[in-house]
Amino acid sequence: MKRLPIVGVIGSHTDSHTEFANPLGRLIAESGCHLLTGGGGGVMTAVAHSFTSHPVRKGLCIGIVPIEAVTDLKKPPRYTNPYIEVPIFTHLHQRVIDGTAMPMAHNEVNILSSDLIIGLPGLKGTEAETSMALVFDKPIILFGNKAEFSNFPDATMVAEVIEDVGRFMLKKIHEHKPHF
């Protein structure tokens, strides 16, 4: 079986940013990739919904679920959005303190498990994941209005149109093709 690229999407867990999440979900679906998110609300739900509702897709929607979301192992966690097809339940926390992802946070699994990262607008957690992607040398692009990313690391490319995100994805997937 051929391994499909995994595109990680990070962003706000409260604001959906549908103007960016919807076209991004469609783009990832059309690109023949898996989608990986933190599995929760906001951007994660919006991009997962757009991805899973696409009529022609090859990939699966994967969600990394932190321990705080798993309260009773006999019941499905409330945290996981309904579009996650492959929930991965971790023993790791969802913790960001002063903009820094703490060791043993599920954010590290999100970044390390993705072949490339696309960041949508978000706050401290998204900023920390962006920094983490740079530390782990993961290809990353931010998608949204540049003003939304003023506190993010300067080394991160920002795209304001979906076509630029698509070009970035294709280039990075092509560069890493032998791994897929």
pTM to 2 decimal places: 0.88
List the domain boundaries for the chain: 7-179
pLDDT value, residue 76:
52
Over residues 3-43, the pLDDT tens digits come to 899 999 999 999 999 999 999 999 999 999 999 999 889 99
What angle do the packed helices 18-30 and 43-52 form, to 10 degrees? 40
Q: Among all chains, which residue has been given the structure tokens 């978000």? A: 122
Say how far apart CA 97 and CA 64 lie, in whole Å. Answer: 20
Give yes or no for a contact between 156 and 149, defined as CB atoms under 8 angstroms apart: yes
Over residues 77-94, the pLDDT tens digits come to 566 899 999 998 876 655
* DSSP tag of 149: G
Question: In terms of CATH architecture, what is 7-179?
Answer: 3-Layer(aba) Sandwich (3.40)
